[in-house]
Amino acid sequence: MKIELTDKEVTTILVALDNYRDLMQDRFHWSGDESDQQEEGSAEWCWQKIMTTQQTQLNTQTNALVDPFSLPSEEK
Protein backbone atom coordinates (compact mmCIF):
# COMPACT_ATOMS: atom_id res chain seq x y z
CA MET A 1 0.00 0.00 0.00
CA LYS A 2 1.28 3.46 -0.83
CA ILE A 3 -0.08 6.53 0.93
CA GLU A 4 0.95 10.03 -0.02
CA LEU A 5 0.94 12.63 2.75
CA THR A 6 1.91 16.26 3.00
CA ASP A 7 4.77 17.22 5.30
CA LYS A 8 2.24 18.67 7.75
CA GLU A 9 0.25 15.42 7.79
CA VAL A 10 3.41 13.39 8.41
CA THR A 11 4.36 15.68 11.28
CA THR A 12 0.87 15.40 12.78
CA ILE A 13 0.97 11.60 12.61
CA LEU A 14 4.48 11.43 14.11
CA VAL A 15 3.47 13.69 17.02
CA ALA A 16 0.32 11.63 17.64
CA LEU A 17 2.29 8.37 17.61
CA ASP A 18 4.91 9.85 19.93
CA ASN A 19 2.22 10.99 22.38
CA TYR A 20 0.42 7.62 22.20
CA ARG A 21 3.68 5.76 22.79
CA ASP A 22 4.36 7.90 25.87
CA LEU A 23 0.83 7.34 27.16
CA MET A 24 1.09 3.56 26.75
CA GLN A 25 4.49 3.58 28.44
CA ASP A 26 3.02 5.46 31.41
CA ARG A 27 -0.01 3.13 31.52
CA PHE A 28 2.30 0.10 31.52
CA HIS A 29 4.22 1.53 34.47
CA TRP A 30 0.97 2.11 36.34
CA SER A 31 -0.83 -1.11 35.47
CA GLY A 32 1.88 -3.59 34.52
CA ASP A 33 -0.47 -4.79 31.78
CA GLU A 34 1.59 -6.32 28.99
CA SER A 35 -0.92 -5.18 26.35
CA ASP A 36 0.00 -1.57 27.19
CA GLN A 37 3.64 -2.41 26.59
CA GLN A 38 2.76 -4.05 23.29
CA GLU A 39 0.80 -0.96 22.24
CA GLU A 40 3.81 1.18 23.15
CA GLY A 41 6.01 -1.02 20.96
CA SER A 42 3.55 -0.86 18.07
CA ALA A 43 3.43 2.91 18.22
CA GLU A 44 7.23 3.05 18.28
CA TRP A 45 7.44 0.69 15.29
CA CYS A 46 4.99 2.82 13.28
CA TRP A 47 6.86 6.00 14.23
CA GLN A 48 10.19 4.49 13.12
CA LYS A 49 8.70 3.21 9.86
CA ILE A 50 7.24 6.60 8.93
CA MET A 51 10.35 8.53 10.00
CA THR A 52 12.68 6.23 8.05
CA THR A 53 10.51 6.46 4.94
CA GLN A 54 10.32 10.24 5.22
CA GLN A 55 14.11 10.57 5.61
CA THR A 56 14.73 8.20 2.69
CA GLN A 57 12.38 10.16 0.45
CA LEU A 58 13.92 13.45 1.51
CA ASN A 59 17.43 12.20 0.76
CA THR A 60 16.32 10.77 -2.59
CA GLN A 61 14.59 14.01 -3.58
CA THR A 62 17.55 16.11 -2.48
CA ASN A 63 19.95 13.95 -4.46
CA ALA A 64 17.67 13.97 -7.49
CA LEU A 65 17.43 17.76 -7.49
CA VAL A 66 21.20 18.30 -7.63
CA ASP A 67 22.67 18.17 -11.09
CA PRO A 68 26.46 18.00 -10.67
CA PHE A 69 26.97 19.36 -14.17
CA SER A 70 25.07 22.53 -13.34
CA LEU A 71 27.25 23.41 -10.34
CA PRO A 72 29.59 26.34 -10.88
CA SER A 73 33.20 25.37 -11.45
CA GLU A 74 35.77 26.32 -8.82
CA GLU A 75 38.41 26.75 -11.52
CA LYS A 76 39.05 30.29 -12.69
Please give the single-letter amino acid code of residue 36.
D
Question: Among residues 59, 52, 50, which one has the least CA distance to residue 15?
Answer: 50
d(CA 51, CA 4): 14
| pTM: predicted TM-score of the whole model, two decimal places | 0.71
Reported for 61-64, long-range contacts at CB under 8 A and 24+ positions apart, including other chains, are none
pLDDT digits (tens, 9 = 90+) for 15-55: 999 999 999 999 999 999 999 999 999 999 999 999 999 88
d(CA 24, CA 19): 9
- The gap from C-alpha 39 to its chain's centroid, in whole angstroms, comes to 17
